[in-house]
Chains A and B, each alone.
Chain A
Amino acid sequence: MNDKTLSKICLAITLTGMLFLALTYKPEFEETTISNLIQKENSKGIIFGKIESVIKTGQTTIFILNDSNKALIYYPKTIEIEENDFVKVYAENNSREITEEKYSSKKKELMLFAYKVIKE
């Protein structure tokens, strides 16, 4: 095998990989609504809405988001957001895990986990 063959193999691997990526790639987060997210456990999505209230506790932020439906969102970091701010949230419905650890079962169904919060 010479260097030219090796270059061809590299090219073939690159093209095959790119083709595979193009055929199988599915965005991890797609735009959705709170109601869609809450209905399906472990689903992920990007939700837009207005903040109704914020609680900051040490290194975490909990807030209520309204996009015509309401959801309590847990963000494991601190962020400068206030009531009436509009935000985009990369969220996941893994509320069971969070509520079992930190909160009462009463809030269980409405708690979403935020990976990232962007102030609009």
Chain B
Amino acid sequence: MGIIAGLIPGLHSNNMAVILAATPFFGEEITAFMLSLCITQAFTEFIPAIFIGAPGENTFESILPAHRMLMQGKAFEAICLTTTGALTAVIAGSLLTPLFFMFIEQNSQQIITVTPIVLIAALIMFIAGEQTIKKKLVVIFLIIAAASQGILFKEQVFPLITGYFGIAGTLYSLKEKPFNAKQNINAEINPKIILDSLIGITGGAIVSIMPGIGSNTAAGIINLFRKTKSTEKYLAMLGAINASNFFFSYATMLALDKARNGTMLALQEKIFHTTDTLFLGTIIMVTSAGLGGLAAIILAKKAITIFEEKFTQKMSIATIILMIILVGFFNGINGLTAMVFATSLGLFTIISGIRRSTCMSSLIVPVLFFYVFALI
């Protein structure tokens, strides 16, 4: 189920959680099912993001660097990088869980106080990152526009990210010459990226503690503070954030009795909080991580044989149609409306030569408002 959920853009584990919440399953049965689903999905959801540019709620930050690798014939390597990051996160996460427990129990209030400061710093970094005054003004306009869209369409995260990061880029690429990058079916990974994966774990821990901050927001924020912007390191970090987010969300739920995402909210009602529950959940997640990693590698190789030498304009058009259908199916008319506005803003960002991660303001600003008003 996790593999299927990962391969279908827009089918988030939160959707599965809603269905499961209505079933009579409970206790260990549902713990095993949900945790393995979430962790496996954390590995396989990069496949549609990388091969067809269809983003998921946790993977849209991967689209731009992965697209670069796809054009260089390194799509398989991109999957191996996110897999390495996610595996490192799950293994290190299982070892760090006791420390994480103690930390969040003692500092939960301080973390909430610091969150809006981090978010404001991220917005400032977006502006400061541009060189000319003109571009800085454009970034400010983009932040306001994206934030307005985020507030107006606050329940439409999937259509917004599909518009900003999926359709906008694919539409823009239609005017460029079709490319025919021969995809390499072997990947060589530098073991040093494990260090970046460990940085990603910090991001995952932040996401699991701070409500409203997603994996992509955390990746974007960490990336703003990093000096080296290697695509490989970034993908490994994103894989680590994504997997450790679920890993630590579970620990946070057991330690603070607070759910940080829809999946944990559904689980919270169905499980019993004991030390055994944490131990069992940890083993299940580690086991599922191994399976998820294997599935991602095997499926990525399959995807290469399907997509190889077919990266034409027709393929791009088919991808756009698929994304529109998915948004229409999962989010209806409101979602399609949000997607049109988001696509326009995404295209404007590309044409202006501004970093598209600025569009993340649509997620950051509403969360910032939430914290500011909650703290006041």
Residues of A within 8 A of B (CB): 1-3, 6-7, 9-18, 20-21, 24-29, 44, 90, 92, 115-116
Task: Return the chain A residue nearest B190 by Cβ.
Answer: A1
Complex-state Cα separation, A46 to B276, whole angstroms: 18
CB of B191 closer than 8 Å to a CB of A: yes
Taking a contact as CB atoms under 8 Å apart, the answer to whether B87 and A9 are in contact is yes
Apart from A14-B294, A27-B28, list 10 A-B contacts with CB within 8 A.
A3-B189, A6-B297, A7-B297, A13-B91, A14-B287, A16-B290, A17-B290, A24-B283, A116-B24, A116-B26
- 3 shortest A-B CB distances, which residue pairs? A17-B287, A14-B290, A13-B290
Interface segment, B76-84, B223-231, B310-318, B323-331? B76-84
Name A115's contact: one of B26, B187, B290 (CB within 8 Å): B26
Taking a contact as CB atoms under 8 Å apart, the answer to whether A11 and B294 are in contact is yes
Taking a contact as CB atoms under 8 Å apart, the answer to whether A18 and B287 are in contact is yes
CB within 8 Å for A3 and B294 given contacts A13-B87, A25-B280: no
Total A-B contacts with CB atoms under 8 angstroms apart: 87
Q: Tell me the count of chain B residues lying within 8 A, CB to CB, of chain A.
A: 31
**Most-contacted residue by chain A among B27, B276, B289 (CB, 10 A):** B27
Chain B contact residues: over half helix, strand or loop, or mixed? helix
CB within 8 Å for A28 and B28 given contacts A10-B290, A12-B290: yes
Complex-state Cα separation, A14 to B291, whole angstroms: 6
Taking a contact as CB atoms under 8 Å apart, the answer to whether B293 and A29 are in contact is no
**B-chain residues with CB within 8 Å of residue A29 when the two chains form the complex:** 27
Taking a contact as CB atoms under 8 Å apart, the answer to whether B187 and A21 are in contact is no
**A-chain residues with CB within 8 Å of residue B279 when the two chains form the complex:** 24
Taking a contact as CB atoms under 8 Å apart, the answer to whether A3 and B80 are in contact is yes
Q: How far is the CB of A83 from chain B (nearest CB, A)?
A: 23
Complex-state Cα separation, A27 to B293, whole angstroms: 28
CB of B218 closer than 8 Å to a CB of A: no
Residues of B within 8 A of A (CB): 24, 26-28, 76, 80, 83-84, 87, 91, 186-191, 272, 276, 279-280, 283-284, 286-291, 293-294, 297
Q: How far is the CB of A104 from chain B (nearest CB, A)?
A: 26
CB within 8 Å for A13 and B293 given contacts A3-B186, A6-B84: yes
**B-chain residues with CB within 8 Å of residue A25 when the two chains form the complex:** 280
**B-chain residues with CB within 8 Å of residue A27 when the two chains form the complex:** 28
CB within 8 Å for A21 and B28 given contacts A6-B297, A13-B87: no
Q: How far is the CB of A48 from chain B (nearest CB, A)?
A: 18
Complex-state Cα separation, A119 to B293, whole angstroms: 41
**A-chain residues with CB within 8 Å of residue B188 when the two chains form the complex:** 1-2
Q: How far is the CB of A21 from chain B (nearest CB, A)?
A: 5
Complex-state Cα separation, A1 to B106, whole angstroms: 39
Task: Return the chain A residue nearest B76 by Cβ.
Answer: A3
Taking a contact as CB atoms under 8 Å apart, the answer to whether A10 and B283 are in contact is no
Complex-state Cα separation, A7 to B288, whole angstroms: 14
**B-chain residues with CB within 8 Å of residue A90 when the two chains form the complex:** 26-27
Complex-state Cα separation, A108 to B80, whole angstroms: 57
**A-chain residues with CB within 8 Å of residue B24 when the two chains form the complex:** 116
Q: How far is the CB of A37 from chain B (nearest CB, A)?
A: 15
CB within 8 Å for A20 and B186 given contacts A6-B83, A11-B294, A14-B291: no
**A-chain residues with CB within 8 Å of residue B291 when the two chains form the complex:** 10, 14
Taking a contact as CB atoms under 8 Å apart, the answer to whether B80 and A10 are in contact is no
Complex-state Cα separation, A1 to B287, whole angstroms: 21
**B-chain residues with CB within 8 Å of residue A115 when the two chains form the complex:** 26-27, 272
24 contacts between A and B (CB under 8 A): A1-B84, A1-B190, A1-B191, A2-B186, A2-B188, A3-B76, A3-B297, A9-B293, A10-B289, A10-B293, A10-B294, A11-B290, A13-B289, A14-B290, A16-B286, A17-B284, A17-B288, A18-B287, A21-B283, A21-B284, A21-B287, A27-B28, A44-B272, A115-B272
Complex-state Cα separation, A93 to B253, whole angstroms: 23
